Structure 1
Amino acid sequence: MKSNSGGKAVRYNKWGYIFLIPFIVVFVIFQLVPLVNTIYNSFFENYMSGLTQVGPRFVGLDNYKALFSSGDIWTYFKNTMVLWIMCFIPQIFLSLLLGAWFSDVRLKLKGSRFFKTVIYLPNLIMASAFSMLFFTLFSDGGPINSLLMQIGFISEPYKFLSHAGSARGLIAMMNCLMWFGNTTILLMAGMMGIDTSLFEAAEVDGATSTQVFFKITLPLLRPILVYVIITSLIGGLQLFDVPQILTNGTGDPMRSTMTLIMYLNKHLFSKNYGMAGALSVVLFILTTVLSLIVFKVTGNDKRKG
């Protein structure tokens, strides 16, 4: 853009690049350089054996071969996806319901601002605090077991963390409670951006609330839904803090709650940087592939008429 004032041409294009400099610097230092360094380290043997440092020594694809030959990576990938699905399905249904409820001007809900704040509050609680709270509530001598025994539902304490189903259920429930508020706010913002004339026309035509939701609201929410699915998927693949604290890093029972990031953390803790780098690269590729699949399935990779 140019502006002639006193015969001098002033260029404003440079200010856009100047404002981008802080982001570019942060991205290069804290994301691009570590990413390149991780890929580089994945081709080296570099770990501690007792007090002896082994490597770094170039081994090519040996770290990747060792990673896949053990078969553990697929077990932990399955665990991660199961935990994410158990969390995401109830989360998206609850968020869509609340979003449609709060954004419907015809309901004229009182105190909606208060309730919007309340449902977002769990997102502000640290995962470590949430995990410790649930660990206390559902322990063998915790209040949940005491309540169930008092009402006669069980005769002895149920070991929630010793059964794969209940342990996974607790992790999924915690993540759902922590993130459904954030998802609700995003979906509600998308719903409030829909042209109200569409809803008015549907009301004049005699459409029910269910028809309006499935024929107008949901199709127009597709871009927001794809964004929510992909960000939730990325967060699910990076699931670490809740199962790490709840199971004390063991992934018990029978490694059914061990996630990919917990597996990665074990390599970092043992200072096996070569294997950790290889696992990080595999996780990056899995995230990219699954995100592309979401785009393909939802049809957001091309414009529709």
Structure 2
Amino acid sequence: MKKKRKSVSYAKWGYIFILPFFICFFIFSLIPLVDTIRYSFFEYYRSGIKEIGPNFVGMQNYISLLGSDMLKYAGNTLILWVIGFIPQIVVALLLANWFTDIRLKIRGKQFFKVVIYLPNLIMASAFAMLFFAMFSTNGPINSILTSLGWISEPIDFLGSVFGTRSLVGLMNFLMWFGNTTIMLMAAIMGISQDIFEACELDGCTSVKRFFYITLPLIRPILAYTLITSIIGGLQMFDVPQILTNGQGNPDRTSMTLIMFLNSHLESRNYGMAGALSVYLFIVSGILCFFVYRMTNGNNDDGYGSKAAKRKLKEARKGRR
């Protein structure tokens, strides 16, 4: 008689290996998240040495936030994000397209990749301190402009709305365009070269190739980049916090939502801070949903193949 072989199941080891992650997520993320939502319905703050609450107030914290300057700070956050993101995505797309185009035969690609990514390794606080020192009224930028005779008096970059917002946007651009470029390069390199060769045989120009072939096929990565950028923009804190010393000057035009949230945490107003956190969560969820639907809503397989085929047909018709 043949002995039956005892089958060994290794499925349980997978659950054992991922168990530490779920334990840490439950303790350090899920419980604080639920607690934050719970506190948003309570009046809970410190007045001097006296602690008020927690007293259940329902939706009062949410209503109070709508009557505060929250919407103004939301507008500031949006403006600062747009100033940094638009040049970031444009430059990243151009660099990624150039570095992955085999026809250009660019030498030293690895060196350029490292140089482009280096600013991403610098801490945001160090970046903010560097720009604060460079663009102050007694900083090297004003000294250089004065010595060249281009200006007669030092420019107060941090004293104007345009100057402060531009510096915040410039720092966000410099810190993140390298990371975006590397991701887009990986996405473009994942496209089959046969598609590019076919479009060249059909007479597509470089511009048509970029807009009709490359962009539709990297839509999932573009969606990911846009979603992570939106989340990062809503969480913008360290750069404007350090650059404006936490005041959002001038006239709080560079005060972001997270800086507003931090002010509630410093005053130990946990109820208002919790309500603002819930608002941020809802807004980020809605924005990410719309971005995903706009960038991937018409795909039949999630990889842009349907859009790419349609665009390729349009390009061929235009050539004829």
TM-score (normalised: structure 1): 0.95
- Correspondence for 1:221: 218
Residue 42 (str. 1) matches residue 40 (str. 2): yes
| Of 17, 29, 35, the match for 2:15 | 17
Displacement of 1:9 after TM fit? Answer: 2.2
Tell me the residue number matched to 2:91: 94
The answer for the alignment partner of 1:296 in structure 2 is 293
Q: Offset of 1:302 from its aligned partner?
A: 5.7
1:202-243 deviations in Å (ceiling 9; x for gaps): 222332222211111111010000000000000000000000
- Give 1:149 deviation, angstroms: 1.9
Aligned partners of 2:297, 2:154: CA distance in 1, in Å?
49
Q: Structure 1: state its 5+ residue gaps.
A: none
**Which residue number corresponds to residue 104 of structure 2?**
107
One-letter amino acid matched to 1:114: F
Which of 172, 192, 196 is 2:193 aligned to? 196
Check the 8 A contact 2:220/2:295 in 1, yes or no. Answer: no
CA distance in 2, matches of 1:99, 1:21: 38
**AA partner of residue 212 (structure 1):** R
* Percent identity over paired residues: 59
Contact preservation (8 Å) 1:223, 1:300: no
Contact 1:96 1:187 in 2 (8 A): yes
Q: Any idea what SS the aligned residue of 1:54 has? A: strand
Q: Which residue of 2 aligns with 1:30?
A: 28
2: CA distance, partners of 1:109 / 1:150: 38
> How many residue pairs end up in the alignment?
300
Classify the secondary structure of the residue corresponding to 1:134: helix
Q: Tell me, yes or no, if structure 1 residue 180 matches structure 2 residue 177.
A: yes
Which amino acid in the other structure matches residue 132 of structure 1?
Answer: M
Q: Does 1:51 align with 2:88?
A: no
- The residue that corresponds to 1:138 in the other structure is 135
Q: Secondary structure at the match of 2:300?
A: coil
Compute the displacement of 1:14 (Å). Answer: 2.2
Q: Which runs of 5+ in 2 are unaligned?
A: 307-320
Secondary structure of 1:46's aligned partner: strand
CA-to-partner distance for each residue in 1:240-266, whole Å, 9 max, x for gaps? 000000000000001110000000000
Q: 1:301 to 1:291 in 2, by over 3 A?
A: farther
C-alpha separation between the residues in 2 aligned to 1:202 and 1:188? 20
The amino acid that maps onto 1:275 is M
How big is the shift at 1:199? 1.1
* Secondary structure of the corresponding residue to residue 9 of structure 1: coil
Q: C-alpha separation between the residues in 1 aligned to 2:251 and 2:279?
A: 24
- Assess if the C-alpha contact under 8 Å between 1:243 and 1:258 holds in 2: yes
Shift of 1:6: 4.8
Q: Secondary structure at the match of 1:53?
A: strand
Mapped partners of 1:301, 1:196: distance in 2: 24
CA distance in 2 between counterparts of 1:206 and 1:6 reads: 65
**1:240 & 1:8 partners in 2: Cα distance?**
58
Q: Which residue of 2 aligns with 1:68?
A: 66
Q: Does 1:255 align with 2:243?
A: no
**Rounded Cα–Cα distance in structure 2 between residues aligned with 1:229 and 1:30:** 27
Range moving further from structure 2, 277-286 or 54-63? 54-63
In 1, Cα distance between equivalents of 2:82 and 2:146: 31
Equivalent of residue 120 in structure 1, options 98, 106, 117 = 117
The match for 2:265 among 252, 264, 268 is 268
Give, in whole Å, the separation in 2 of the partners of 1:102 and 1:69: 50
CA distance in 2, matches of 1:248, 1:75: 19
User: Contact 1:295–1:301 at 8 Å: present in 2 too?
Assistant: no
Aligned with 1:238 (options 231, 235, 239): 235
SS state of the match for residue 55, structure 2?
Answer: strand
1:46 and 1:273 in contact (8 A); partners too: yes
User: What root-mean-square deviation, in Å, do the aligned CA atoms of Structure 1 and Structure 2 show?
Assistant: 1.5
CA distance in 1, matches of 2:46, 2:299: 49
Would the aligned equivalents of 2:92 and 2:181 in 1 still touch at CA under 8 Å?
yes
**1:287 and 2:284 aligned:** yes
State how far apart, in whole Å, the 1-side matches of 2:6 and 2:297 are.
46
